[in-house]
Amino acid sequence: MATEIERKFLVKGDKWRALATGTLYRQGYIRTTSKTTVRVRVVGDKGYLTIKGKNQGNSRAEFEYPIPVEDAQEMLDKLCERPLIEKTRYKIKIGEVTWEIDEFAGENQGLIIAEVELTDENQILELPEWIGEEVSQDPRYFNANLAQHPFSQW
């Protein structure tokens, strides 16, 4: 089983912008009756289907599969709940970790979150100066929840 170990932080300031260029992401969620998340994502000209299990601390099961971009577009248009998540993702490698900074658009405009995937729950992490408050355990910042309760409505 694949496991995702991830921490999330709010971003402060703009110093991170000089370190990377961004890629547009468009993603949506298909409703389930459990704590399982089914995500459809288009990144550039690639499509992905991801299934994630219930969070247990900073970890959860995760399975991601490439799918034809045309299928992903159709799923986003016909199967996913609204609003869709629109964001630009910037990747910045610092030491042994890669930070992913998501600058949200649409109904989540104004929200910027940095995520980092770890190899171990207890991995020591050096925080760049542009990292703010940790929000790993705050479900409001989960992308699936931002699709249901956008940042603009808080």
64 residue type, one letter: E
Active-site hit among 25, 29, 90, 141: 29
- For tokens 């694949």, the residue is 2
CA angle, residues 51, 4, 78, in degrees to nearest 5: 25
Sequential DSSP letters for 64-80 = EEEE-HHHHHHHHHHTS
Identify whether 128 is preceded by a cis peptide bond (ω within 30 of 0). Answer: no
Quick check: is 25 catalytic? no
CA distances from 49 to 37, 68, 104, 117 (A): 11, 10, 20, 19
Tokens of 70: 């045309």
Q: Which residue numbers are catalytic?
A: 29
